[in-house]
Amino acid sequence: MTELSDREAELVSAHEQERPARQLGGPLRLGVWIVGGLLSVYSLVVVFRPVEALEHRMTFLAVALPLVFLCYRSGWSAFLPRLFGRGKSAESPPPETPAEDDPLAGVSRAVAHPEGTRRSERPSVADWLLAAASLAVLVYPLLDIDGFRDRGSGAALTDLDIVAGLALTVLLLEAVRRTVGWSLTIICIVFLIYAYYGAYLPIDWTIGHRGFDLGQIVSQLYTGTEGFFGVPMQVAASYIILFTIYGAVLDYSGASKFFIDLSFAAFRKSRAAPGRTVTTAGFLLGTVSGSGVATTVSLGSVAWPVLRRAGYPKEPAGGILAAGGIGAILSPPTLGAAAFIIAEYLRVSYLEVLLYATIPTLLYYLGIFLAIEIDSRRFSTHAVQVDAPKAGKLLLRFGYHFSSLILIIVLMALDRSAFQSVVIATAIAFALSFLDPQHRMGLKRTGQALAKGTLEVLPVTAVCAAAGIIVGVITQTGLGLNLSAIIVDFAAGNLVLTTLMSGIAVMLLGLAVPVTASFIIAAVIIGPALTTLGVTQAEAYMFVFYYAVLSEVSPPTALSAVAAAAITGGNTYKTMMMTWRYTLPAFLVPFAFVLTPNGQALLGQGPIGTVLLMTAVSAVAVAALALATGGMTGWPERVLAAIAAVLLLFLEPVPIVAGLAVLAVAVAVHLVRSRRRDPA
């Protein structure tokens, strides 16, 4: 992700679930960047010289966890005054609404790299002690990894093993609190208490279990690949780090600037062009940043002045920014971190997960573009002249930035692993940077990109390691199957009710914890509830994935929408509702591929004819949704259009015919009422 200015960083700090890192200075900054760069180099080398799974994950965390304590503030100085009623700390000042003459209106401003613009901060003595303790408890098993693994599998841990495991548990809880806040920390603590005291629950409770002592819990979490070093940690240390390195290389090679400039150059003339431009820029910029809120903030600083000049009111403009900001997390070729976990859980290639996401992505952007087209007429927006080179000229000069993105897909289609594909694409992006003298990757920029790749993955690493607590406890106690049974029983075995409850549960969970963590928790609890009722694992995991991501635009928190409202100065609630309207297809389409027999076609599964037909029907359903939420002015036709959309998303012959008939009636009613209002 690009390095943000002071005001942009404040906005991310206020609205992102991941906390902002310290601005280090002097020798410490250099040291951290060197260590981060070395960890990136190690991660790249391991792709071609594999290391045993447990050893690799421990080594990765042994470097990453100390960096968390050095790079992220403790936050206690802000928390304790609030806890004891002494007011708020000034550690993170509130964001300011941009002025009308915001100097960030230049197209390339969001992709600048201001160095040293914020006051440098130093870690405290406690931070250094925590970093040292992290290193000690993770290096300790590596000194005799085979003996350590044997003791864990034989339940013969030494007292030192148990002490080190408990220490690592506490350290991870603190790391998660620093990087993403209290919510996930508290959830992890609750799961640990449940594992230890589960035997005290009433015997007739479904979630009761025999209870586990400290040695058994530590053995589960610390000594194997079921806890801290499980699938989530594998994803962070093997997939996500490679993609953050790739994103950093793209960024430093000038790709971010090119994507922004190209988006603004591509749509110049129509009144819907500003909205389409912002959405396209969000998609392209998000492939580099990988964060919904950060993309919204970076994009908004550039795009809001353009949208304002085009005539967009504050709330619709904020909705477009937020919808565009999370679009890349839902979209190939990068998707979000949870997509890598899906590949690991399903034991399929990452390319297959990309194929699952392709049609839902097309429907998502179709819905946004239709809504933008409708709003451009409703708000009487107009084209805006932006000082950017022509699109053709940009493509001829800098179009090579697309080559590495395309190469990832091509290599995976040729049966290269995702690991090797992204490393090769990173090397190509590095080599192509020398075509641009302003962004060529010399020694300094290469070092910065490698370091940034590691620093960007630190919060996700902390989340994935701590999520291992939840996964480990669920596996050890059998809680996942028990909770799944409770969900199914509560819904009386009804798939529709179970799916509805699951969607609500994932969204509520996503309001409290980051997307990656909410997906992991929901996948092991809610996923089995859906598969029990006949839903395939792919459909279940993709359903959970979409609702985990959509929590970022779901009221009442809707982090991306709140950040967008802070940029535009619009009403927060109205911005949330506009964002919800733009993203509505993404909320409904997952129900289609879970509830209907032909729904798997939306994941690219089945005969090509069925896939194309169901995609076309779903596109008509998305158009009906657009008409229902803004394209029609009267309530009768809006209700009819909404009914038509729901019928069409059943993806069965009879409902499809009925949906088309209802949609035709809605259009006819709209035309008749329009002629009555305007006889001329």
CA 238 to chain centre: 17
CA–CA separation, 513 and 601 (whole Å): 31
Phi–psi pair at 202, nearest 5 degrees: -55, 140
- Percent of the chain surpassing pLDDT 70: 87
Q: Residue 94 — pLDDT band, cuts 50, 70, 90?
A: very low
Helix (H, G, I), strand (E, B) or coil at 638: helix
Contact 296, 324 (CB under 8 A): yes
Over range 499-522, report the average pLDDT: 85
Contact 312, 320 (CB under 8 A): yes
CA 37 to chain centre: 24
Cβ neighbors of 119 (< 8 A, separation 6 or more) are 23
pLDDT at residue 6 in the model: 53
> Which has the closest alpha carbon to 176: 69, 53, 289?
69
Q: Residue 247 — pLDDT band, cuts 50, 70, 90?
A: confident
Contact 60, 43 (CB under 8 A): yes
CA–CA separation, 655 and 646 (whole Å): 9
195, two tokens? 């594992």
Mean pLDDT, all residues of the chain: 84
> Which has the closest alpha carbon to 633: 583, 584, 679, 672?
672
pLDDT at residue 160 in the model: 93
Q: What is the per-residue burial (b if ≥16 Cβ within 10 Å, else e) of 128-160?
A: eebbebbeebbebbeeeeeebbebbeeeebeee
pLDDT at residue 535 in the model: 92
Across 136-201, the runs of DSSP E, i.e. the strands, are: none
Over range 506-534, report the average pLDDT: 86
Is 398's pLDDT higher than 70?
yes
Q: Which of 376-390, 601-615, 649-663 has the lowest mean pLDDT?
A: 376-390
Q: Which of 35-49, 182-196, 503-517 has the lowest mean pLDDT?
A: 503-517
Is 233's pLDDT higher than 70?
yes
Over range 107-121, report the average pLDDT: 44
Residue at 336: amino acid letter: G
Cα-based torsion angle of the residue sequence 550, 660, 362, 276 in order, rounded to the nearest 10 degrees: -90
Q: How many CB atoms are closer than 10 A to CB 443?
A: 7
Residue, of 123 and 273, whose pLDDT is higher:
123
pLDDT at residue 103 in the model: 27
Q: Residue 340 — pLDDT band, cuts 50, 70, 90?
A: confident
Contact 466, 260 (CB under 8 A): no
N- to C-terminal Cα separation, the chain:
54
CA 405 to chain centre: 19
Q: Residue 203 — pLDDT band, cuts 50, 70, 90?
A: confident
Cβ neighbors of 239 (< 8 A, separation 6 or more) are 337, 340, 343, 350, 418, 419
Residue, of 169 and 247, whose pLDDT is higher:
169
pLDDT at residue 63 in the model: 97
> Which has the closest alpha carbon to 248: 445, 432, 19, 12?
445
Q: CA dist 526 to 484, 513, 530, 543, 596, Å?
A: 6, 16, 7, 10, 19
Over range 171-197, report the average pLDDT: 92
Cβ neighbors of 607 (< 8 A, separation 6 or more) are none
Over range 160-188, report the average pLDDT: 93
Q: Which of 289-298, 514-523, 652-661 has the lowest mean pLDDT?
A: 289-298
Over range 442-446, report the average pLDDT: 93
CA 412 to chain centre: 22
Cα-based torsion angle of the residue sequence 494, 498, 500, 504 in order, rounded to the nearest 10 degrees: 160
CA–CA separation, 441 and 430 (whole Å): 6
pLDDT at residue 1 in the model: 41
Is 7's pLDDT higher than 60?
no
pTM of the model: 0.83
The DSSP call for residue 105 is G
pLDDT at residue 290 in the model: 57
Contact 372, 272 (CB under 8 A): yes
Contact 285, 96 (CB under 8 A): no
Q: Which of 50-59, 122-131, 281-290, 483-492 has the lowest mean pLDDT?
A: 281-290
Cα-based torsion angle of the residue sequence 249, 252, 255, 260 in order, rounded to the nearest 10 degrees: 140
Give the angle 177-180-183 at the CA atoms, nearest 5°.
70
pLDDT at residue 485 in the model: 84
Q: Residue 135 — pLDDT band, cuts 50, 70, 90?
A: very high
Residue, of 322 and 99, whose pLDDT is higher:
322
Residue, of 667 and 335, whose pLDDT is higher:
667
Q: Which of 257-261, 270-274, 610-614, 615-619 has the lowest mean pLDDT?
A: 270-274
Q: What is the per-residue burial (b if ≥16 Cβ within 10 Å, else e) of 620-644?
A: bbbbbbbbbbbbbeeeebbebbbbb
Length of the chain (residues): 680
- Percent of the chain surpassing pLDDT 90: 41
Is 84's pLDDT higher than 50?
no
pLDDT digits over 552-592, tens only? 777 766 778 888 888 888 888 889 889 888 888 888 999 99
CA–CA separation, 501 and 494 (whole Å): 11
Q: CA dist 566 to 198, 328, 516, Å?
A: 44, 21, 25
DSSP 341-373: HHHHHHT--HHHHHHHHHHHHHHHHHHHHHHHH
Q: What is the per-residue burial (b if ≥16 Cβ within 10 Å, else e) of 104-124?
A: bbebebbbbeeeeebeeeebe
pLDDT at residue 648 in the model: 94
Phi–psi pair at 673, nearest 5 degrees: -65, -35
Is 441's pLDDT higher than 80?
yes
Cβ neighbors of 600 (< 8 A, separation 6 or more) are 536, 538, 539, 593, 606
CA–CA separation, 487 and 526 (whole Å): 8
pLDDT digits over 256-290, tens only? 888 888 887 776 667 777 888 888 888 887 666 55
516, two tokens? 């990656």
136, two tokens? 């000690």
Q: Interhelix angle for 584-595 vs 495-512, to 10°?
A: 140
Q: Residue 504 — pLDDT band, cuts 50, 70, 90?
A: confident
Over range 348-367, report the average pLDDT: 91
Q: Interhelix angle for 292-310 vs 255-266, to 10°?
A: 30
